[in-house]
Amino acid sequence: MIGTLADLLRQFELERLEVNLFRGASRDIGSPQVFGGQVLGQALTAAYATVPGDRHVHSLHSYFLRRGDFDRPIVYQVDRSRDGHSFSSRRVIAIQNGEQIFTFSASFHLAEPGLDHQSTMPQVPGPESLPDWSRPSAEVALRLPEKMRRFLVRERPFELRPVDPVDYIDPKPSPPLQHIWLRTAGALPDDPRLHRCLLAYISDFNLLGTATRPHATDFSSENLTMASIDHAMWFHRDFRIDDWLLYSMDSPSASGARGFARGSLYDRSGRLVASTAQEGLVRVRT
């Protein structure tokens, strides 16, 4: 296990301050504020700590309210909304500097049999035939503006292999679609809760960017502001995040300084394991 993955796992070891109160540490990953996926994953971890062990998250909905400061801890307050016969509901508020920065609700379900169908996985090249794009090459990195280089060149806890990588130096308009193979950069314990929390973490990466592809967006521009507004996930089937998953994303709409994107996650065998949806701020100042 590489150091960045081990450090990421430590971020999900929240300190329990009270029965329903937890504290988590943040990391600077090169973005101007706390990475939204980190807050999402930690909130899910806090909720899981209050749920019976035989139930797993099947859906979550969240809103990003304020920028998080990665130099300060984040406190997660869990509300045990309901524990029913087969479902549990939880609400989580993330607090920093005395203010809410994130709200979250999730539902957990006791596994049971039922009807089964799914959409078909897109036909794309497998991960073995694609280059690792977790970080740009040294040649490309030298040509990147400092703002982008700080974010892109860091060692990451995930391997990312896009089918059609974005050209950060000279972007061209392209359809609002992208497919990325991803997995953790090392093996993980057999803990379904951990795998779902880590998928929540990485699901916020690249999703909103799908809405910018038709516009050949210059990500290094000081006139571009992008931020997640909300994020929703549905977990359909068990999976392992330390084995390859295909993240298939599309953006059906962008308007009013907001972009909307949705995603489907498939395992190597073609099973649909999770779905995502997100709206985010995409503001271009002229």
Which residues are known to be catalytic? 204, 228, 278
* Residues counted in the chain: 286
| Cα distance between residue 19 and residue 80, in whole Å | 11
Query: Rounded to an integer, what distance in angstroms lies between the CA atom of residue 221 and that of residue 200?
Result: 28
What is the distance between the alpha carbons of residues 91 and 51, in angstroms, rounded to a whole number?
12
> 179: burial class by Cβ within 10 Å (0-12, 13-18, 19+)?
buried
Using a 10 angstrom Cβ sphere, with 0-12 exposed, 13-18 middle and 19 or more buried, the burial of residue 15 is exposed
**Lookup: tokens for 167:** 């050209």
Query: Is there a contact between 123 and 61 (Cβ–Cβ < 8 Å)?
Result: no
Of 197, 185, 187, 202, which Cα lies nearest the Cα of 246?
202
